[in-house]
């Protein structure tokens, strides 16, 4: 075997112990909704892009989405620079703490461990040039419901013994300026929502309750949807003809407790909706731990678009 081939074989990161959930994600799977295939992709797309930016990667490069931490650990086989952005999951390199929103170097034999959430819920670990994984329907993202994506093309999270490899070899060394980068939500944060066509089916009292009091993030939350708990919302519609569901759609099922539909949502649904969270709000909600209080705040579609464009410029103006 040539020296080049030996180097390629030894370049990897071994999964030594798994945590609650670690999934390969990229920007998502688009143009396949008519087939019943969901979007997928990084739930906190802002932190995901910052992780890739830190290494000079294309912003949609496949990375690792780590939820909660929970003892997830890796051992490196070769020297490599990685980047970490998003939640503070008490990451440690050989027992020493790692700050989120920065890049760092690993040497052969060193161990990287993610423990418990300190602030936020999801961390993103980026690799030089992006992770290697099979592309399925235009994306490497894991979606468990469709059993698509990931290392083994089955949509499942990482397991002990898996080996991660990457495309690049010479990442950039970048730093996020003070005051920039991902911001983890605090209790009482506001989630902008663009109101939908079915808003008229909810009476004035219900709308007052929806937008003038905090909602609590329920522990029934995953990549498909996040339930918000509070007083029951009532409207004149108990069901509608199933229609397409956008990211962030706020459905109100018969029990009156709204559900925000996230990246791995179903593609159609038949419950009336208050509207849809903005992309920025979806990223914020993806980082909210159960019990976090949030406020739904109506905004215009033009304001939501302006905020989105402003965020997109963040990675191209530095």
Tokens of 293: 């209080």
Tokens of 13: 């990161």
Q: What is the pLDDT along the chain (318 residues), one digit of tens a residue?
A: 344 444 444 689 999 999 999 999 999 999 999 999 999 999 999 999 999 999 999 999 999 999 999 999 999 999 999 999 999 999 999 999 999 999 999 999 999 999 999 999 999 999 999 999 999 999 999 999 899 999 999 999 999 999 999 999 888 899 998 888 899 998 899 999 999 989 999 999 999 999 999 999 999 999 999 999 999 999 888 778 889 999 999 999 999 999 999 999 999 998 999 999 999 999 999 999 999 999 999 999 999 999 999 999 988 766
The model's pLDDT over 15-74, given as tens digits with 9 standing for 90+, comes to: 999 999 999 999 999 999 999 999 999 999 999 999 999 999 999 999 999 999 999 999
- Could you give the C-alpha distances from 229 to 84, 128, 213, 260, 295, in angstroms and in order? 32, 41, 11, 11, 12
Cα 40 → chain centroid? 9
Query: In three state form, how does the secondary structure of 48-74 look?
Result: HHHHHHHHCCCCCCCEEEEECCCCCEE
Backbone angles phi, psi at 67, to 5 degrees: -105, 125
Specify the pLDDT at position 6.
41
Largest Cα span, the chain: 73
Specify the pLDDT at position 5.
45
Q: How far apart are CA 217 and CA 215, in angstroms?
A: 7
Specify the pLDDT at position 1.
39
Specify the pLDDT at position 221.
93
Specify the pLDDT at position 315.
87
Cα 10 → chain centroid? 30
Specify the pLDDT at position 318.
62
The model's pLDDT over 189-202, given as tens digits with 9 standing for 90+, comes to: 999 999 998 999 99
Among 198, 172, 218, CA closest to 52: 172
Query: Top-level CATH class of 189-313?
Result: mainly beta
- Could you give the C-alpha distances from 230 to 13, 44, 206, 209, in angstroms and in order? 44, 24, 11, 9
**Local structure of 307: helix, strand or coil:** helix
Kindly report the number of other CB atoms within 10 A of residue 229's CB atom: 15
Burial category of 295 from C-beta neighbours within 10 Å (exposed 0-12, middle 13-18, buried 19 and up): middle
Q: How far apart are CA 100 and CA 90, in angstroms?
A: 9
Q: How far apart are CA 135 and CA 131, in angstroms?
A: 11
Among 304, 178, 191, CA closest to 258: 191
* Numbered ranges of CATH 2.40.100.10 in the chain: 189-313
Burial category of 26 from C-beta neighbours within 10 Å (exposed 0-12, middle 13-18, buried 19 and up): buried
The strand pairing partners of 227, in sequence order, are 259
Among 238, 285, 280, 229, CA closest to 261: 285
Tokens of 63: 């990375």
E strand residue ranges, 130-197: 163-164, 189-195
Q: How far apart are CA 91 and CA 85, in angstroms?
A: 11
Task: Specify the pTM.
Answer: 0.94
Among 89, 45, 68, CA closest to 248: 45
């Amino acid at each position: 075997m040539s020296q080049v081939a030996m180097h390629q074989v030894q370049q990897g990161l071994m999964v030594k112990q798994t945590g609650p959930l670690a999934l390969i994600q990229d920007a998502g799977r688009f143009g396949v909704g008519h087939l019943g295939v969901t979007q997928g992709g990084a739930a906190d797309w802002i932190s995901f892009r910052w992780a890739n930016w830190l290494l000079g990667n294309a912003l949609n490069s496949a990375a690792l989405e780590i939820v909660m931490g929970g003892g997830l650990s890796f051992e490196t086989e070769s020297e490599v620079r990685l980047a970490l952005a998003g939640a503070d999951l008490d990451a440690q390199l050989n027992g020493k703490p790692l700050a989120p929103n920065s890049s760092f170097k690993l040497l052969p034999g060193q161990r990287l461990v993610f423990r418990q959430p300190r602030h936020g819920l999801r961390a993103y670990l980026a690799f030089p040039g992006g992770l290697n994984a099979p592309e399925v329907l235009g994306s490497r993202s894991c979606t468990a419901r469709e059993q698509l994506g990931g290392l083994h093309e089955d949509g499942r999270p990482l397991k002990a013994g898996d080996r991660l490899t990457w495309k690049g070899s010479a990442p950039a060394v970048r730093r996020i300026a003070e005051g920039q980068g991902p911001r983890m939500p605090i209790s009482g944060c506001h989630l902008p929502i663009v109101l939908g066509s079915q808003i008229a089916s909810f009476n004035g009292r219900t709308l007052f309750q929806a937008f003038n009091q905090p909602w609590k993030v329920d522990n029934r939350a995953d990549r498909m949807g996040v339930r918000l708990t509070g007083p029951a919302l009532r409207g004149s519609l108990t069901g509608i003809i199933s229609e397409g569901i956008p990211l962030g759609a706020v459905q109100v099922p018969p029990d009156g407790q709204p559900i925000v539909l996230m990246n791995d949502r179903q593609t159609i649904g038949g419950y009336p909706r208050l509207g849809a969270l903005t992309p920025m709000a979806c990223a914020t909600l993806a980082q909210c731990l159960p019990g976090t209080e949030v406020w739904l705040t109506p905004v215009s579609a033009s304001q939501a678009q302006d905020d989105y464009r402003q965020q997109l410029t963040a990675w191209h103006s530095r």
